[in-house]
Amino acid sequence: MKQDFFNVDNIAYEGSESKNPLAFKHYDAGEKIGGKVMEEHLRFAVAYWHTMRNPLSDPFGVGTAQMPWDDGSDSIDNARQRVRVFFQFLEKLGVDYYCFHDRDVAPEADSLAETNAQLDAVVATLKEEQERTGKRLLWGTASLFTHPRYVHGAATSCNADVFAYAAAQVKKAMEITHELGGLGYTFWGGREGYSTLLNTDMRRELDHLAKFLHMAVDWKKQIGFQGQFYIEPKPMEPTTHQYDSDAAACLNFLREYDLLDHFKLNLETNHATLAGHTMQHDLTVAANAGALGSVDANTGDLFLGWDTDQFPTDIYQTTQIMLIVLEMGGFTTGGLNFDAKRRRESFEPVDLFHAHIGGMDTFARGLKIAHAIREDGRLAEFVKRRYQSWDSGIGDAIESGLAGFEDLEGYALENGEPVNVSGRQEMLENLINEFI
Ligand code: XLS
Ligand code: NI
Ligand code: NI
C-alpha cells in the first residue's frame, strides 16, 4: 500500500529515558525476560473492531473518530482498503497478532449467501496481507449481537429460526478462522442472557446454548480446525444478566454440559471488574481449573459502571495479571488482545498509536516486575510457609484423607486452642511496591 495515512514511523524501543511519545520506553520485543523474549511472553493482539470500526460514539453523541482511509460505504473495496490500512498499522506498531468479528471485516448483505460471498472476498485480502507481513490471527469470532435478528439472543433466542441462523453464521466464521490459520476462536455471548425473567425459560435457553457449543465442537472436528475454543465471560451489558457472567459461572456451565475439555476462558479485565471481581480473581479461578486461555487486555473506569474498554495504564494491575500468566507457564495459544478503544475525545489516527504504545509499555513493565518478584521468591515463600501446617502431622493426614471427624475431635481435645499468625497483608503490599 503506497499511501501512508498515519504519518508515523515504525514505533521503536528507545528506553526509559526517551521523551518521544511515539516510542516504547519499556517494551523491547527482543529483550529476554527469564527464558523468553518479551514478544513471546506478551503476544499482543490488536482488535479490529475497535481499531478500524469503532467511530467513538457514545449514548449521547455521534462518532468522532477520523478515518481518512474510510469512504464510509459498505463496498467491498472499502472493506479491503480498511484491511490494508489495518496491516499497515500492525506493521508500524510492531504487533504480530490480531482478532476480528466476521462483521467487522465485511458488511452484511441482504441474504446469508451474499453475506458469505462478501466475507470470502475480504478474507482473501486478509490472507494476502497475512502472507505479506507474517502477522497472525490470534482468534476469530462472530458478531451474534449487532443485527436486530439477535434481539432475543442467538443460541439462547426463543426463536429456533434465529438459533439456526446463528449456527450458520458461526459455522462460516469458524471456517474463515481456520482458513486464515487462526490460533483460536472465541464465543462471547453478547445477547445470551435476559432482560427480564418474566418472559424467560432459563433452563431451556441454557440447554440450547450447550447444544450450540456441542455443534461447534463437532464442526471443529469435521473441518480439522486445531485452534483453541474460548468462552469470554461478561456479567451484564447489553443484557441485564448474561449467562457467561464470570469465570466461575462459565466453568460450572462447561462442566454441567460436558464441554470443559473443549474450551478455555478468554478473560477481559473490564468484564471481571463489572462482575464485582478483580481481574486477579477471575484469572486465578480459570488458572486453577487449567482453563486460562487468553486475555482481553483493557481496563474500566473507577467512576463509570460500564464496559468502558479503556487501554490498560495501571502497572499494579498488569503486574498482577503477569504474575498469574507466568505462574501458569505463559500463554500457549492465547495472548493479550487489546479489546480497548480510545476516548471519544482522542479522535485523531495518531491516538491509536498512543493508546497501544501505552498498553504495551504498561504490560512490559508488569512483565518485568512480575518476573522480578518471582525471582526474588519472598512472596511465594511467604504463601508456602503460611500453609506449612498442612505439610506434615494432622494437616497432612487431612489432605491425604487419613483423618475423619472422630480423629479430628480426638486431636482437637488434646491439642487445645489453635495458635494463629498474622496474614501480613500490609507487609506483602509493601513488598510488591518495592518492585514497582
Ligand atoms: C464485549 C466483548 C467483545 C468480545 C468479542 O464486551 O468484549 O468485544 O471480546 O466479541
Ligand atoms: Ni472482549
Ligand atoms: Ni468487553
122 belongs to a structural domain: yes
Whether residue 87 sits in one domain with residue 54: yes
Q: Rounded CA gap, 274 and 358, in Å? A: 23
Are residue 400 and residue 368 in the same domain, yes or no? Answer: no
Residue 2 has pLDDT above 80, yes or no: no
pTM over 0.95: yes
pLDDT reading at 190 higher than 70: yes
Which residues are near ligand 1 (CB < 6 Å)? 101, 141, 186, 188, 232, 234, 268, 296, 307, 339
- Write 3-8 long-range contacts (CB < 8 A, 24+): 3/69, 4/88, 5/68, 5/69, 5/85, 5/88, 5/349, 6/88, 6/89, 6/92, 6/349, 6/350, 6/353, 7/350, 8/92, 8/350, 8/353
Contacts for 309 with CB less than 8 Å, ≥ 6 apart: 50, 270, 298, 339, 340, 341
Residue whose CA is closest, atom 10 of ligand 1? 188
pLDDT tens across 128-153, in order?
999 999 999 999 999 999 999 999 99
The grid cell for 143 is: 458478531
Q: What is the pLDDT of residues 159-187, one digit of tens each?
A: 999 999 999 999 999 999 999 999 999 99
Average pLDDT over residues 256-271: 98
| Burial (Cβ within 10 Å: 0-12, 13-18, ≥19) of residue 391 | exposed
- Centre of ligand 1 to C-alpha 233, Å, is 9
Same domain as 226, residue 179: yes
Ligand 1 mean position, distance from CA 188 (Å): 6
User: Which residue has a Cα nearest atom 6 of ligand 1?
Assistant: 307
In a domain, 4, yes or no: no
CA-proximal residue: ligand 1, atom 2 (nearest) = 188
Query: Which residue has 472422630 as its cell numbers?
Result: 406
Instruction: Identify whether residues 419 and 290 lie together within a single domain.
Output: no
Return the closest-CA partner of residue 296 out of 281, 309, 280, 315: 309
Q: Select from 100, 104, 143, 232 the residue to mutate for testing ligand 1; criterion: most ligand atoms less than 8 Å from CB.
A: 232
Residue 384 located in a structural domain: no
Q: What percent of the chain shows pLDDT beyond 90?
A: 98
Q: Is 153 exposed, middle or buried (0-12, 13-18, 19+ CB in 10 A)?
A: buried
> Which pLDDT band holds residue 234 (cuts at 50, 70, 90)?
very high
Which atom in ligand 1 lies closest to the alpha carbon of residue 268? 7
H/E segment holding residue 270: helix 269-274
Q: What is the total count of domains within the chain?
A: 2
Q: Is residue 173 part of a domain?
A: yes
Q: Looking at 70-142, which runs of residues are DSSP E strands?
A: 97-101, 136-141
- From ligand 1's centre to the CA of 232, what distance in Å? 8
Nearest atom of ligand 1 to the alpha carbon of 145: 10
Tell how far the Cα of 270 is from the centroid of ligand 3, in angstroms.
7
Q: Which residues surround ligand 2, an ion (CB under 5 A)?
A: 268, 296, 339
Tell which one of 105, 138, 231, 234 to mutate to probe ligand 1, the residue whose CB is within 8 A of the most ligand atoms: 234
**How far, in Å, from the CA of 339 to the mean position of ligand 3?**
7
Q: Are residues 193 and 261 in the same domain?
A: yes
Domain-located, residue 381? no
Angle at the Cα of 340 (from 335 to 346), degrees rounded to 5?
A: 140
Do 297 and 407 share a structural domain? no
Q: Is 3 helix (H, G, I), strand (E, B) or coil?
A: coil
Nearest to 79 by CA among 62, 56, 102: 102
Q: pLDDT, tens digit, for every residue of 349-380? A: 999 999 999 999 999 999 999 999 999 999 99
- pLDDT confidence of residue 306: 87
Residue 300 confidence class, pLDDT cut points 50, 70, 90: very high
Task: Examine the domain organization and report whether 225 and 254 are in the same domain.
Answer: yes
Label residue 197 by pLDDT band (50, 70, 90).
very high
Q: What is the mean pLDDT of the chain?
A: 98
Q: Are residues 400 and 353 in the same domain?
A: no
Q: Does residue 1 surpass a pLDDT of 90?
A: no
Are 50 and 177 within one domain?
yes
| Structural domain for 431, as ranges | 394-435
**Do residues 158 and 294 share a domain?**
yes
Active site residues: 101, 104
Residues 307 and 399 in one domain: no
Q: Determine, yes or no, domain membership for 313.
A: yes
The helix/strand count (H/E) of the chain reads as: 16, 14
- Specify the residue with its C-alpha closest to ligand 1, atom 5: 188
Are 104 and 149 in a shared domain? Answer: yes
What is the rounded distance in angstroms from the CA atom of residue 352 to the CA atom of residue 90?
A: 11
Residues with Cβ within 8 Å of 29's Cβ and at least 6 positions away in sequence, in order, are 13, 37, 38, 39, 94
CATH number, residue 257: 3.20.20.150
Question: Residues 227-252: what's their mean pLDDT?
Answer: 97
For residue 173, give the H/E element and its range. helix 160-179
